[in-house]
Amino acid sequence: MITLPGVVLGVTLVAGGSTVYSNALAAEDAGSELEEIVVTARKREESLQVAPIAVSALSGSELEVRSMTNLMEVGSFAPNVIMGTGQGGSGGGGNGQVYIRGIGQLDFLFTTDPGIGIYIDGVYHARTLGAVMDLLDLERIEILRGPQGTLFGRNTIGGAINVISSKPAEEFGGYVEGTYGDFDRTDFRGSVDVPLIPGQLLAKAALSYKNRDGYGKRLDFASGEKIDEAGDEDALSARGALRWQISDDLTADFIFDYSREREESVPTTLLQFEEFGGVPIILWNALIGIPSGLPMSTAFITDDEDESFGTGPNHNELDAWGINATFEWDLGWATAKSITAYREMEGGFGRDGDGSPLPIVHTDQDQDQDQVSEELQLFGSSFDNRLDWVVGFYYFDEFGRDQNDVVLTSGLFNALESIPVQLTGAPCAPPFLAPGCPGNPINPLLDLDFNIFNEIDITSYAAFAQATAHFTDRFSITAGLRYTYEKKEYFLEHRRIASNTFIVPATNVEASWNEPTPMFSVQYRWTDALMTYFTYSEGFKSGGFNGRPIVAAAVESYDPEFLVNHEVGIKSEWFDRRLRLNAAAFFYNYDDLQFTAVSVDPASGTLLLVVDNVGKAEVTGFEIEMLARPMEGLDINGAVGYTDFEIVELDPGGTEATLDSKMIRTPKWTGSAGIQYAWPAGEYGRVTVRGDWTYEARSFADIQNTPVLARDAHSIFNARLTWNLSATTFGGGWDLAVFGTNLTDERVLVNGLSALSSFGTAEGFYNRPREWGVSVRKSF
């Protein structure tokens, strides 16, 4: 096991050993130094190199040159960060799933919350559905690793994604861009800045439309002919911004955004089938499948990972919009800031989890949600800038509604009702010890066609304060505390469709929690270019409710998760700011893990699935990030991350996980490297070529570590060539690009679900294949 002191020693050796590289750099002619990266990880703008936080950042231009188009692609450049999309059973292709250092959340239900907070222009986005958002006209993206409970609050137990959009410019200008590529990809995007009243009222509008055919096929089982596609894209995004300089001291920013998706969902396929996997599938095959001549079987497993014989629901739809107003007032002695926001989201997604034309595992879900939030901040510096401080108050209110139609071994209840004896051969009279016979009270327990209705109201308040005392020009201490209160009110009604009986009749439950989240950090700047820090911080993920009860007794709340982080780090720049080397090592105590617990209802003997706090874990790891500019025009970047997630305690029988289970979507090793070279092309402008490599070690898509749901170790290569035409070529302002993604056509499982023990099925979908594209941009 890698220990924290050992990691710290290794990081120190990496920094000290860079003298070998310095000789190579010294031999080069003087080149441009690395640009300063500004972040707002501590609620104020500051250099990345002075923030005692493990944070990675990419500007809008850096996102573009890496051919990134949506938020879930950004995680590949940051160590120990895994970002991807869900499938039908995990919220559809529009559901973003983010894990940082092994902390995250797969589930999309409103009754549970994510472990990584996503913030856009200072506004918390509460739901993962809709998180696969377009990267439209951004200033930068910051990925904060480790709990951010003091300044960002609840549900940032593992970290936060901070997205900052571009502000309106002082001068008129903009761009239009078109892209064409594989699968008939046709993208259009553009942005325009308009100074309505120069120096006082500025406006910006940005628009993006993305369309391409699906890379998956749905086939007719009898003929093998294609009947539909999966994994296509049809998405519209828009953003409008208005900046009003009310006075020299008061600025107001108004932002409106809208997103619309109308797509076939990801190409889920059947990966494995067990004929005797569970009672429901055994009975369905015996009573319906075999007599009809088309039983559920391994015949529905296709040879191609992008093909499926499924004919059930497979769609992904989303409409989301929001508006926020940010006022910033310079009071002289401090700055006051208010962020007010309102958001709405409506989404729908469907899934055929059995990969066959049979009604074995289908779900069709609709969700709608709205939220309102208000954050007040007051920050400034005192005592001749020896004390930097921020205090604030936060209010959040959310309403969510979820309607889910579930089809599982459909027709089984009616088949059991039509049998003239119990399945044991006993007559249709009490005692009923087995299913079968009309009116048998056991039969409804195998009516697995459900209508599930959930509503939840969430209210949260928080107050926070953080201060950094600069005792000398080199030595600083930061301390902070946040206190959060939240209340959740949950209404549910779950009904069996064929038998018209209730799983759970109309029920109201509520729960509340209040939690403090402190932090403490010591920072020492050895030189102007070398800083080390130690941080102690805490975070929590909200408690919630079991959103999938099978009987009324399973409707209960569970408590928050808690995490305590001990972290050391180094931030350094070398050789006249031509090499930047940052590293961090961490140790987590992770308590009250929220897992799906397995138990049995004592009254009926029915299997129960209950989300509960059932374990503890210890997480150890490190990250190293490097950016170098050995000569003008040449940039080299690299990153490596290591995470050892060890479950150290589990309640007996409380979960399908074991002490040997590997945490979901948590590879031990992640890595990335990139090289970019730009050179002048004489009178024709400038050419830039870039290549990127990313690596993930083996991980799993479920906590049971089902072998067929293993995500094998893999590497992905992308490349891009851009030609910036000179001002004298075609009037100037033209950029031409050709790019390729997944150049080696590496195919790896992205996500999956196992129902092998009940319906005999395991499903999943794979990443996109190798693709190419060309883009043309005109700036004005």
pLDDT value, residue 105 = 85
242 forms bridges with which residues in the sheet?
203, 254
Pick from 56, 52, 51, 93: which is nearest to 75 by CA? 56
pLDDT value, residue 278 = 84
Answer for the pair 380, 463: CB distance below 8 angstroms, yes or no. Answer: no
Asked if residue 175 belongs to a domain, the reply is yes
415-424 mean pLDDT: 96
223-244 mean pLDDT: 95
Asked if residue 770 belongs to a domain, the reply is yes
379-383 mean pLDDT: 96
7-24 mean pLDDT: 39
pLDDT value, residue 159 = 96
Which range, 443-452, 574-583, 604-613, has the best average confidence (pLDDT)?
A: 574-583
What whole-number distance in Å separates Cα of residue 577 and Cα of residue 328? 33
C-alpha distances in Å from residue 71, one per residue of 118, 142, 186, 241, 278: 10, 11, 19, 20, 39
pLDDT value, residue 601 = 52
Asked if residue 432 belongs to a domain, the reply is no
Asked if residue 700 belongs to a domain, the reply is yes
What is the percentage of the chain residues whose pLDDT exceeds 70?
92
How many contiguous H segments (helices) and E segments (strands) does the chain have? 6, 42
What whole-number distance in Å separates Cα of residue 636 and Cα of residue 629? 6
Pick from 733, 741, 738, 742: which is nearest to 722 by CA? 738
What is the percentage of the chain residues whose pLDDT exceeds 90?
77
| pTM, full prediction | 0.92
173-186 mean pLDDT: 97
Asked if residue 247 belongs to a domain, the reply is yes
Query: Which residues have C-beta within 8 Å of that of residue 379, sequence separation ≥ 6?
Result: 43, 44, 334, 335, 337, 388, 389, 390, 391
481-487 mean pLDDT: 97
Which phi and psi (to 5°) does residue 84 adopt? -165, -170
At 732 the three-state DSSP class reads: coil
Residue with tokens 């029920």: 507
What whole-number distance in Å separates Cα of residue 437 and Cα of residue 770? 55
pLDDT value, residue 7 = 40
Asked if residue 441 belongs to a domain, the reply is no
Asked if residue 64 belongs to a domain, the reply is yes
Answer for the pair 494, 451: CB distance below 8 angstroms, yes or no. Answer: yes
Query: Structure tokens of 522?
Result: 């010591």
pLDDT value, residue 197 = 96
680-692 mean pLDDT: 92
Confidence at 776, pLDDT banded by 50, 70, 90: very high
Cα angle 187, 190, 195; round to 5: 170
- Determine how β-strand 269-273 pairs with β-strand 714-725: unpaired
Asked if residue 231 belongs to a domain, the reply is yes
Residues 16-69: tens digit of each pLDDT? 443 333 334 443 444 578 999 999 999 889 999 999 999 999 999 999 999 998
Task: Specify the CATH number for the domain of residue 694.
Answer: 2.40.170.20
What whole-number distance in Å separates Cα of residue 324 and Cα of residue 303? 49
The 3-state secondary structure of 321-344, one letter per residue:
EEEEEEEEEECCCCEEEEEEEEEE
Which range, 45-49, 542-546, 643-647, 723-727, has the best average confidence (pLDDT)?
A: 643-647
Answer for the pair 241, 271: CB distance below 8 angstroms, yes or no. Answer: no
349-365 mean pLDDT: 92
For residue 517, the enclosing domain spans 4-410+448-779
Domain count, the chain: 1
Q: Before 435, cis peptide (omega within 30)?
A: no
Answer for the pair 128, 108: CB distance below 8 angstroms, yes or no. Answer: yes
DSSP assignment, residue 288? I
E strands, 528-633, are: 530-541, 544-545, 557-558, 561-574, 579-600, 607-631
